[in-house]
Amino acid sequence: MKYCALKMEFFWGRGQESRRLLLLLLLLAAWEAGNGQLHYSVFEEAKHGNFVGRIAQDLGLELAELVPRLFRVASKGRGDLLEVNLQNGILFVNSRIDREELCGRSAECSIHLEVIVDRPLQVFHVDVEVKDINDNPPVFPATQKNLLIAESRPLDSRFPLEGASDADIGENAQLTYRLSPNEYFSLEKPSDDELVKGLGLILRKSLDREEAPEIFLVLTATDGGKPELTGTVQLLITVLDANDNAPAFDRTLYKVRLPENVPNGTLVIKLNASDLDEGLNGDIVYSFSNDISPNVKSKFHIDPITGQIIVKGYIDFEESKSYEIIVEGIDKGQLPLSGHCRVIVEVEDNNDNVPDLQFKSLSLPIREDAPLGTVVALISVSDKDVGVNGQVTCSLTPHVPFKLVSTFKNYYSLVLDSALDRESVPAYELVVTARDGGSPSLWATASVSVEVADVNDNAPAFAQPEYTVIVKENNPPGCHIFTVSAQDADAQENALVTYSLVERRVGERALSSYVSVHAESGKVYALQPLDHEELELLQFQVSARDAGVPPLGSNVTLQVFVLDVNDNPPALLAPRVGGIGGAVSELVPWSVGAGHVVAKVRAVDADSGYNAWLSYELQPGTGGERIPFRVGLYTGEISTTRALDEADAPRHRLLVLVKDHGDPALTATATVLVSLVESGQAPKVSSRALAGAVGPEAALVDVNVYLIIAICAVSSLLVLTLLLYTALRCSAPPTDGGCARGKPMLVCSSAVGSWSNSQQRRPRVCSGEGPPKTDLMAFSPSLSDSRDREDQLQPTEESFVKPRQPNPDWRYSASLRAGMHSSVHLEEAGILRAGPGAPDQQWPTVSSATPEPEAGEVSPPVGAGVNSNSWTFKYGPGNPKQSGPGELPDKFIIPGSPAIISIRQEPTNSQIDKSDFITFGKKEETKKKKKKKKGNKTQEKKEKGNSTTDNSDQ
């Protein structure tokens, strides 16, 4: 760089021409460096193995990478003249190089090599100049030439000669002529303008046939090579007798331009020669000189009479660009004389050659993630025409992600121009068109199929992110429950999908102990029988992975709902009192009337829905006697059907069949022993205890009175504490959103749409952000006036309550929907104590409002989603006291369920919602204590006792 700077500084002051020269040299050097071309030279006829150049070193390639990168040399139409030693990277002569054979008499002769290196693909261009050596001597058309010259020819007459030709070029082809010494002729050497004057003999001394009839001369041609080579021709001159005037042409040189491909018979030129003689001495015959080449004679014909030269062969510019014709005009004298002229026929090029288009190297297939600019193929184009007719341009099929880039002369690279996506287009059919500049232009096309190689760029995809599967419980182990399927848009191993479970814990066990998935087919199997009572919903994920590197994957969620099957028979609850050998023993006074509840059968079913909906039937006696008892179809309460008399047996063994509503139904049997006793012998128990709701307090009857007093005191203190806590909570602002923590009852629907009560824990349901409270359903019933009963044995009167429809925002669990299609009413279940001075009220239960086929019949299990037309509060016999006008009981129970329904009415001036509320929840968590007047302790104790009875019943 410093040297270049000094050179520029030196030449800058040398004038404008020096500056131009320096700029030209710099541009030339930049062009050479940009093209990446190497130049070597070698003499023709060099021996095999002759050193040409260190091509690998000059191209900047390491010797160790030549073989792995598939280093190779290609030469168009040159065979294997040159070769590269892959061990040392040297370019050497492989076979004989004949410059004349390669390039003819062209001034420039070089071998163009394409050096191609793969991985990555690179192309280099190398020109090896073939230098000429003087290996060809001058050659004359013939070894001997005969000349006929009349003795009467004047001095300085000129006789043209055909010169010698030398296949070499440059100084090796620069010929000098010399004539053997003689006294008659001198040699006229050709000047620089060969088209004007050529080689010939000049007559310097008059000929005398009598003195010298024949003259022998030797013409020698010597080239300028080192060493010099020579060629000779013998000239035999025959001296003729006088024919004074020789024919003379109008011009000694004619130039004609002739298009190529002209048809035979086309006139080239008409020559005209004249002779001053008369008669036969003035008649001229035209002919081609004997010295012209056979190629000219095959292309042209001259008419001997008219002198017209016409085409008789195929004229091809690519074969020869010009023809030189020597024409003689000979008269018919006895001693004929001749005149000579030269015709130069220049052939004009026509656009008659289609461009040649070839793919030199292909790097296929191409990866779809290949970077932009990746070379896909090398293309060479050529045209035998010249000028504009030989100027070729290439174009590519439109709308493809590739383009052509011109690299060197008539070479193009097919490179990637935009991103590929095999999933959109797996292959491209590319058509390259080469078109020359002729008018009209000619073109050629070449096509190549470019396949796009797949890359793992698509993860397996499921049709939907989540699937719902329904499986009945107690399935056989290993049964097929579902098939997952994922599609991968890639190909081959990139699209090979395998499936696996996303392992997690299900309770205390691993997911893989419940289900498995086949790795290839995606089939999901249940490995063991599923139990609805243990697991209602099994949610897990299946992963799909392809076999690409790196692998891609996606997950799909499966929700497996286990449907209940009636596989659990009803289970009887153990009797709380009076049990003998698993049977319930009850003592009933003779004096009880019709409808008196003597016992209650309790049973539960581990199933859900209709499979857990229990009904009770009293089996007929074995003796056929008429039994004065009945059992509630859905309550299990055993009551009298009439007043007892002395005709009835003192002991009754009642067999109660408990049956669920499954298909097929499962049953259990309970035995109740009823003994009829006198009124004094019956234990003093409340009607709630006789209704089957015997609680832990019943066991305290025979306990020491002091212990009873202590328990009552502790209970009173606990109740007082709860009342104070409730008062504080209720006095808080409504925005506190307080709600009691508890285990709310979930109302669910089975597949058949029945209602049941779930014992499972559920998330807290609260309003606002405060603590949770029990699940709540709001109704706004319109109350009809309640009518008092005069006597508890009189028929019950109903107080109608028309509830509003449930709030549409209410959400019910999918496993517990109402199976009720008729209105329901409230049936007696116990006694509800009112305030001071108010009558005791029967504890209501829910039963059908339709005419009862049997007393005590209850509609399908209720507890949520009430869609009835009316509510009826019915109070049975045994309680003469009824609620006042417009009053409702504050709570009632649901038969066969541990839940109660509380009905709360707020004062008219309360700040909360004026609607009545029905609250579902566990009885222990939903008990409410009414505030009573501080002065009436007797009534408070009475309510506490009644509450204790309620709890025992629950």
Q: Give the pLDDT confidence of 508-540 residue by residue, as tens digits.
A: 899 999 999 999 999 999 999 999 989 999 999
CA proximity to 237, closest of 302, 165, 318, 159: 159
CA proximity to 228, closest of 136, 121, 329: 136
Does 942 score more than 60 pLDDT?
Answer: no
Tell me the pLDDT tens digit for each residue of 729-773. 887 555 433 333 333 333 333 333 333 333 333 333 333 333 333
Do 665 and 569 contact (CB within 8 A), yes or no? no
Please tell me the predicted confidence (pLDDT) of residue 574: 80
**3-state secondary structure (DSSP) of residue 369:** coil
- Among 108-112, 824-828, 921-925, the range of highest mean pLDDT: 108-112
Please tell me the predicted confidence (pLDDT) of residue 150: 83
Does 807 score more than 60 pLDDT?
Answer: no
Identity of the residue numbered 549: V
Do 133 and 170 contact (CB within 8 A), yes or no? no
Of residues 819 and 39, more confidently modeled: 39
Please tell me the predicted confidence (pLDDT) of residue 704: 60
Of residues 228 and 913, more confidently modeled: 228
- Among 44-53, 306-315, 676-685, the range of highest mean pLDDT: 306-315
Of residues 916 and 485, more confidently modeled: 485
How does residue 706 score in pLDDT terms, banded at 50, 70 and 90? confident
DSSP strand pairing (755-758 vs 899-904): unpaired
CA angle (890, 893, 899) in 5-degree steps: 110
Please tell me the predicted confidence (pLDDT) of residue 334: 81
* Mean of pLDDT values over 214-232: 92
Q: Which two tokens stand for residue 309?
A: 């030269």
Per the DSSP assignment, residues forming a β-bridge with 893 are: 900
* Mean of pLDDT values over 15-37: 49
* Mean of pLDDT values over 251-273: 94
Please tell me the predicted confidence (pLDDT) of residue 637: 94
Residue 140's contacts (CB-CB under 8 Å, 6 or more residues apart) are: 162, 163, 164, 219, 221, 231, 232, 233
The alpha carbons of the chain give a radius of gyration, in whole angstroms, of: 63
Tell me the pLDDT tens digit for each residue of 271-311. 999 988 788 888 999 999 888 888 999 999 999 999 999 99
Spatial separation of the C-alpha atoms in residues 169 and 916, rounded to whole Å:
124
* Mean of pLDDT values over 51-60: 90
Does 954 score more than 80 pLDDT?
Answer: no
Does 545 score more than 60 pLDDT?
Answer: yes
Tell me the pLDDT tens digit for each residue of 72-89. 888 766 668 888 998 899
Please tell me the predicted confidence (pLDDT) of residue 278: 80
Does 869 score more than 50 pLDDT?
Answer: no
Spatial separation of the C-alpha atoms in residues 260 and 216, rounded to whole Å:
43
Spatial separation of the C-alpha atoms in residues 514 and 526, rounded to whole Å:
6
CA proximity to 675, closest of 649, 701, 703: 649
* Mean of pLDDT values over 40-44: 91
How many alpha carbons lie under 13 Å from residue 320 in its C-beta half-sphere? 14
Does 878 score more than 70 pLDDT?
Answer: no
How does residue 234 score in pLDDT terms, banded at 50, 70 and 90? very high
Which range (226-230, 339-343, 846-850) has the least confidence? 846-850
Spatial separation of the C-alpha atoms in residues 391 and 606, rounded to whole Å:
95
How many alpha carbons lie under 13 Å from residue 935 in its C-beta half-sphere? 1
Which range (191-195, 354-358, 726-730, 874-878) has the least confidence? 874-878
Q: How far is CA 906 from CA 302, 912, 914, 915, 917, in A?
A: 138, 8, 6, 8, 10
Does 653 score more than 70 pLDDT?
Answer: yes
How many alpha carbons lie under 13 Å from residue 936 in its C-beta half-sphere? 12
**How much of the chain exceeds pLDDT 90, in percent?**
39
Which range (471-475, 792-796, 881-885) has the least confidence? 792-796
Please tell me the predicted confidence (pLDDT) of residue 681: 61
Q: What is the mean pLDDT of the chain?
A: 74
Helix axes 2-12, 16-35, angle to 10 degrees: 150
Q: How far is CA 691 from CA 30, 288, 638, 756, in A?
A: 114, 150, 8, 23
Does 468 score more than 70 pLDDT?
Answer: yes
- Among 159-173, 175-189, 891-905, the range of highest mean pLDDT: 175-189
Which range (212-216, 446-450, 744-748) has the least confidence? 744-748
Phi then psi dihedrals of residue 350, to 5 deg: -115, 155
How does residue 847 score in pLDDT terms, banded at 50, 70 and 90? very low
DSSP 753-818: --EEEE-S----B-STTS--B--EEEE-PEEPPP---S-TTSPP--EEEEPPPPPTT----TT---
Please tell me the predicted confidence (pLDDT) of residue 682: 56
CA proximity to 778, closest of 681, 869, 657, 901: 901
Does 133 score more than 50 pLDDT?
Answer: yes
Please tell me the predicted confidence (pLDDT) of residue 789: 33
Of residues 744 and 432, more confidently modeled: 432
Please tell me the predicted confidence (pLDDT) of residue 477: 94
